[in-house]
Amino acid sequence: MSAYDDVYRRSLAEPEEFWAEVAENVHWTTRWDRVLDDRRAPVYRWFSGGELNTCYNALDRHVEGGRAEQPALIYDSPVTGNVRSFTFRELRDEVALFAGVLAGQGVGRGDRVVIYMPMVPEAVVAMLACARLGAVHSVVFGGFAPAELAVRINDARPRVVVSASCGIEGQRVIPYKPLLDKAIEIATHKPDASIVLQREAARAELTPGFDLDWHEAAAAAKPRDCVPVAATDPLYILYTSGTTGVPKGVVRDNGGHAVALYWTMRNIYGVEPGEAFWAASDVGWVVGHSYIVYGPLLHGNTTILYEGKPVGTPDAGAFWRVIAEHDVKVLFTAPTAFRVIKKEDPEGRLMSVHDLSGFRYLFLAGERCDPDTLGWAESRLGVPVIDHWWQTETGWSICANCLGIEQLPVKPGSAARPAPGWDVRALDSGGRDVEPGETGSLAVRLPLPPGTFPTLWNAEDKAAGDDQLVDSYLSDVPGHYTTGDAGYVDSGGYVFVMARTDDIINVAGHRLSTGAMEEVLAAHPDVAECAVTGVADAIKGQIPLGVLVLKDGAERDPDDVVAEVVRDVRAKIGPVAAFKTAVVVDRLPKTRSGKILRGTMQKIADGTDYKTPATIDDPRILTEITGALAGIGYPRSPSGDS
Ligand code: COA
Ligand code: AMP
């Protein structure tokens, strides 16, 4: 039996023994009573009765254990020309002080803090300061518009919001404070205070009595110690697109999270404590939570916080510079970053000027890695390139080639085999396993391993959060978590994740709901009906495409309406939606029962073969749609040019 098979088998056969052993690596102030608490199955809890502090495990423990002078975090910001390194001791001290600032504003155990910040060290400090106090952070990605931020503020009900005066996107400075002010204005829940980091690129005007200046507040604060919390207490809430316009509040606990992430660092990513690990993502996404902040720090690794882009800051060699300068052993990013680098530097010439000899592995996730990109990265870098599959809900990878256990052969297009703890199945509509190689709905047998999501956030009523978890994810096939992804498992046990089963699309590795965009389009006064689909894009993987039908009598130039809905999506959801293209048609293709044939429109736009659905109301509409899409350059050529 291979090493992987052995570990995998044991993780499923003896999950409690397996994870209890891993939990010995975490510092507990009170040991758990139950490793796996199944008293409320299908809702499970890990390590119930146990108490710990996640910030203590991420920082103080290393300071006390001999890593005080090791860099914990290296902030590399080509957009500001800054590189700053924080040792574990320095980061612990910054965090303890900011915990004092938060405590001074009344933040304590269980209180929520919304963090709306660019990729600056203070974002990490704010997250860890919440963890230190037992408060619950909810980070909102900077590319979301005020309305989306307001929805999250209303749901999380934070006592305090932490933000910065601006973000820097490539060459552009984006003032954050007006976005924050607008969000607070439209939110029904009002936080007590906001703490704003003033950045030189654009300082913000602060409102006395409500806004505090980060540095002034820190200068007046006293450091705070770690507060032990229950293993099952929430560490954070991270909102993610669901099937409706309302995002879901994915909750992460303290105990299971610390245990699982600690384990993944060596076993999946193959790094040893002390080595540098870089997740080129954003703290606003789950990858940023797990692998910019918590995973590396829990394991005693140096984490890189990169404020820049793969290209343009200043060029397509930026990643290689960062790897060489900071001796990064493992990089984790999204395939889209590699597609954009490949487009600018197809020969990989900018790699050759950097010493990449210490670089060991590249991990990719966020979307399926197309075999071309995988092959290009492998051949240029000469290291294993590992596609692995995960979700905001799962917090760490469902499937991966666990390089720290055993390097399995790479199959391009597959996210490899289930990680230990994950019993992955491809199921038919009746909930039965399909044959190897046959496509089904991808599900995971319960219980999910530690570090996943024990519940969905409900500020009013915890039990209601559990019910929402069951309704949204655990009720399709009893005893299983429905991932929302479809794909197949081949005869060798490799999992191929091919598509979503719902309206979620992946744009540049960012998860977005087309349903939410349709809500914005439908609210336009001249739009009678609409559909949004995710069409293939050579760089971003997918981009949204809107198809609109105008109201009878709307005497409008279609181009004007298109421009207006593009503006509306940017204003209401945010630039991250990357909604830039729409077309006006006379009618939408529908089934006889009135269901819009989004999938067929998507295939027409992508130029892939499709069968006219037998249930279509009027097949002639497809010819009209084909003509309208051709008018805006669809299908595109494989290079992405129209
Ligand atoms: N604050 C404000 N605006 C933001 C933002 C932030 N934090 N992040 C993105 N945006 C804006 C961008 O500036 C862009 O605006 P524009 O329409 O005015 O140009 C828009 O949101 C879309 O952003 P994005 O889809 O990221 O496109 P991009 O062209 O700026 O960059 C990539 C494309 C591929 C370089 C970039 O998406 C990338 O590096 N992705 C890989 C890493 C990653 O983040 N993965 C996430 C999960 S692992
Ligand atoms: P997010 O919650 O933003 O991490 O997005 C999760 C979704 O991204 C998954 O449900 C998949 O649809 C997609 N995804 C992430 N990683 C992969 C991968 N390696 N292969 C295929 N799809 C992926």
374-400 pLDDT per residue, tens? 999 999 999 999 999 999 999 999 999
Q: How confident is the model at residue 1 (pLDDT cuts 50, 70, 90)?
A: confident
Q: Are strands 328-333 and 361-364 parallel, antiparallel or unpaired?
A: parallel
Tell me: the pLDDT tens digits for 423-453? 999 999 999 999 999 999 999 999 999 999 9
Q: DSSP character for 636?
A: P
Q: What integer is the mean pLDDT of 142-154?
A: 96
Strand locations in 501-557 (E)? 504-507, 510-513, 527-537, 541-550
Domain annotation covers residue 564: yes
Name all residues whose Cβ lies below 6 A of ligand 1: 118, 142-143, 167, 169, 174, 280-282, 285, 287, 309-310, 333-334, 336-337, 340, 366, 507-510, 575-576, 578
Identify the nearest ligand to the CA of 573 by its number: 1
pLDDT at 145 over 90: yes
Considering only the C-alpha atoms of the chain, give the largest distance between any 2 of them, rounded to a whole number of Å. 74
Name all residues whose Cβ lies below 6 A of ligand 2: 240, 286, 365-368, 387-392, 415, 484-485, 497, 500, 506, 511
Identify the nearest ligand to the CA of 540 by its number: 1
Residues comprising the chain, all counted: 642
Q: Are strands 71-77 and 82-87 parallel, antiparallel or unpaired?
A: antiparallel
Q: How confident is the model at residue 637 (pLDDT cuts 50, 70, 90)?
A: confident
Provide the angle, in degrees to the nearest 10, between the axes of the packed helices 371-381 and 335-344. 70
Q: What integer is the mean pLDDT of 482-498?
A: 97
Query: Distance (Å, rounded) from C-alpha 559 to C-alpha 130?
Result: 47
Tell me: the pLDDT tens digits for 255-293? 999 999 999 999 999 999 999 999 999 999 999 999 999
Q: How confident is the model at residue 462 (pLDDT cuts 50, 70, 90)?
A: confident
Domain annotation covers residue 547: yes
Task: Look at residue 277 and give its three-state secondary structure.
Answer: strand
pLDDT at 85 over 90: yes
Q: How confident is the model at residue 638 (pLDDT cuts 50, 70, 90)?
A: low
Number of structural domains, the chain? Answer: 1
Q: How confident is the model at residue 641 (pLDDT cuts 50, 70, 90)?
A: very low
* Enclosing domain of residue 508: 504-631
Instruction: Determine the distance separating the centroid of ligand 2 and the alpha carbon of 367, expressed in angstroms.
Output: 5
Task: Look at residue 11 and give its three-state secondary structure.
Answer: helix
Q: How confident is the model at residue 460 (pLDDT cuts 50, 70, 90)?
A: confident
Nearest CA among 632, 590, 595, 601 for reference residue 535: 601
pLDDT top residue among 257 and 614: 257
Q: How confident is the model at residue 640 (pLDDT cuts 50, 70, 90)?
A: very low
- Kindly give the number of the ligand 2 atom that is closest to the alpha carbon of 240: 2
Domain annotation covers residue 309: no
* pLDDT for residue 243: 64
Q: What is the mean pLDDT of the chain?
A: 96
Instruction: Determine the distance separating the centroid of ligand 2 and the alpha carbon of 140, expressed in angstroms.
Output: 19
Q: How confident is the model at residue 459 (pLDDT cuts 50, 70, 90)?
A: confident
pLDDT at 642 over 50: no
Q: Which two tokens stand for residue 166?
A: 């601006």
Instruction: Determine the distance separating the centroid of ligand 2 and the alpha carbon of 333, expressed in angstroms.
Output: 12
Supply the CATH number for residue 586's domain. Answer: 3.30.300.30
* pLDDT for residue 150: 97
C-alpha Rg value of the chain to the nearest Å: 24
Domain annotation covers residue 181: no
314 cis-preceded (ω within 30 degrees of 0) = yes
* pLDDT for residue 267: 98
* Nearest CA owner, ligand 2 atom 23: 367
Instruction: Determine the distance separating the centroid of ligand 2 and the alpha carbon of 210, expressed in angstroms.
Output: 39
Domain annotation covers residue 561: yes
For the chain, what percent of residues have pLDDT higher than 70? Answer: 99
Instruction: Determine the distance separating the centroid of ligand 1 and the alpha carbon of 172, expressed in angstroms.
Output: 12
In sequence order, which residues have a C-beta less than 8 Å from that of residue 632 and are 6 or more positions away? 581, 583, 642
Query: Tell me, what amino acid is at 551?
Result: K
* Nearest CA owner, ligand 1 atom 22: 576
Q: What integer is the mean pLDDT of 298-306?
A: 98
Q: What integer is the mean pLDDT of 532-555?
A: 96
* pLDDT for residue 456: 97
* Nearest CA owner, ligand 1 atom 32: 337
In sequence order, which residues have a C-beta less than 8 Å from that of residue 81 and are 6 or more positions away? none
Q: Which two tokens stand for residue 330?
A: 């493992």
Query: Tell me, what amino acid is at 372?
Result: D
pLDDT at 244 over 70: no
